[in-house]
A and B are shown apart, each in its own frame.
Chain A
Amino acid sequence: MNAPTYNFAYLDEQTKRMIRRAILKAIAIPGYQVPFASREMPMPYGWGTGGVQVTAAILGTNDVLKVIDQGSDDTTNAISIRKFFEKTAGVVTTTSTADATVIQTRHRIPEAPLHAQQVLVYQVPIPEPLRYLEPRETETRRMHALGEYGLMHVKLYEDIARFGHIATAYAYPVKVNARYVMDPSPTPKFDNPKMDNCPALQLFGAGREKRIYAIPPYTSVVSLDFEDHPFTRYKHDACCALCDSGDSYLDEIVTDNKGSRMFVCSDTDYCETRQSQGHRGSENAAPYAESKHA
């Protein structure tokens, strides 16, 4: 039997109620950052305590949980969070995007399309998209209240003037439901289009900054851009060396101490699923084809 050493999913019921109420407001006001009384969790802030608290508040015994960190299920961070919920909620975990009902993520949105029975929970370090432009909370709150986002456009336009394009590659700001400018957390801008009109509910938790925000399913999410400089998805001009995917987000990996490099999918579950379906990349030839690459 599970000894009741922990509260179910760690948090006490009063904290869960408070977080649950914040989540409902966040869904009702898409992109607006709802303040909440973030609790200490038995892990450092850098480990996504905001996401962990959101997951703890929604998770039930029927859920199947997946945790990814930079696209991988197997980093220390992802494994620790998965074990934390296995232990405190007795929940089933998976690495399969398709099988999961709750996916907690840091820095990526899975490549496999999300479906309506899923909730994607983001760990957010800095929820305020205007923070780098305006350090004062009273001022950023005012800008959101008025929908006054000129400063953000100026910043993006300065990029264009300096670099000839918008240089922001991560945490690229979006406008949610044609109203609030929102930070998608440090995901690559490659992932931004996946947030738009997504069938799954997306929840964002920032522990240190004590904010929860949300994108309901089927909600418009537009990356900020300019008519003469439209938003573009950036990715390396290569295919995955393991599964040959030409349209997934790639990490560049150093393969030996002579500096040899290859590109592989950042999303390990996506890559492994493709390989199991028989897709082979240049560094991962099937046995019968080995001679070709010898």
Chain B
Amino acid sequence: MSTELLSSQPDSDTELLTGAEIFIRCLVEERVSTVFGYPGGAVLHIYDELHKQREVDHILVRHEQGATHAAEGYAKSTGKVGVALVTSGPGATNAVTGIADAYMDSVPIVVFTGQVRTALIGNDAFQEVDTVGITRPCVKHNILVKTVEEMPLAIRRAFHIASTGRPGPVVVDLPKDVTEQKMPFAYPENPHLRSYQPTTVGHAGQIKRAIKLLEKAERPIIYSGGGVISSNAHEELTEFTRLTGFPITNTLMGLGAFPGTDPQFVQMLGMHGSYEANMAMHHSDTLIAVGARFDDRITGNLEKFCPYAKVIHIDIDPSSISKNFPVHVPVVGDAKHVLRAMIDDLKQRERALPDISAWWDQIHEWAKKDSFAYKQEMDADIKPQYVLDALYRLTEGEAFVTSDVGQHQMWVAQLYKFNKPRRWINSGGLGTMGFGLPAAMGVQLAHPDSLVCCVTGEASIQMCIQELSTCRQYGLPIKVINLNNRYMGMVRQWQDFFYDSRYAMSYMEALPDFVKLAESYGHVGVKVEQAKDVEPTLKEVLAMKDRLVFVDVVTDPRENVFPMIAPGAAHNEMILS
């Protein structure tokens, strides 16, 4: 990287700034208003500069994992790049889980890690780790900045790479001496990346071929994923779906890209997807995959996946196409552009698409199974689904909902109908317990006036519970709904199915009193133990608009998530109850 790449050369007599000052200026240039971070020796120059200015807010988390998840929550709910700042060594290693999480779910974040002085690199210096080496397999890109002259271009590139193409995390490693070296500041307009040019516009010939397949479809289904949300293509997806009249299913990551209450929506698919969605996938003759990656939790047994379908796959990442499952018509491009082109093409056609009413009749028949149904007796244990149903009704489907990982996550996905994108914030690819609360902080900071709920379990919440302190410091009025079944429910469920109910280590003993715990952090805590109290309590909780409320709901410890496709099974081999 040479300085001559800088498009705007500074005058020789301009003021000299330190690397730390330049760092702040770069953030301002990238319109970063919020940074989630935690200080330490290697980043103290930067913290000193943060202290002196007002343009960038710094949110002090309580663990660096929280900083990266908060940055993810911020990014997922806004579409903007989330930013985290941590120190070298343990600061960087603590951040790795969030970086890997962002990598798996294609979340645009930039993580700045402090590093020991350049002269000490490789000497096993105090708090030195090879951050670039450790994070290499779980970043979209990473950069070690070796001189201050390299810093502006490195940061320009980091934001560009994180936010374009298939988004993802970028790590920028900043040795301490780089943040004290001086130079005149100029921010490059162009990231100058000759080797990085994501394809956005779909190939016209491939789009034509895709349309040809649609014209012959008798049993079509649209299967859309998180990529549609990343590319802000929800309007195009909705228009395309309405125009074709085809049924549509969303992945866990794609919920909200198409209105969850629309009659064309056949619910989520995959391991815990609806009966109708999975059966329709299995029997379809034409599959239109958009921004989805044929993950194993979606496909089940690949050998038996969609055996009758011709497959169209629209994705911005060529390596996603035919990675797990061979497709017939690949279209590399941004979902927004490609869907727009397909809509335009369809509208110009005289010939209507084939009548698929027989297919819809079949789907409606499958839907009668009502596979997400549950029964709540008012004098029995509280069903977790009942709580989420109530939450959905009381919030009118308008809340931002984050979740942790486990049964509760699947129940939110099944029961909370998201009509808008970027409202459902969860960890899909990595499945990171501990994600929910810090992610909710990022969402709440980005949307200070909106209702943000974190649905969690008593096991997951304890993985980042320290962030309750951050929530207190910044007055974040998140509503934490803890579905407390005294089990690592999802683990217990697998033990029920595959290990003759031997509950090895999946019970939660010695649980804290969550109400007192919340109170000791300065929040409101409430406990719900009876079904009849669920709705009235939630109503009161939601009315406490300016407080974080921790709602500990004691739920049925035996409830399992259905339907379920066991690993190795096919879509038409669901366990229904």
- A joins B in a complex: no
Give me the interface of A with B, judged by CB distance under 8 Å: none
Chain B residues with CB under 8 Å of chain A are none
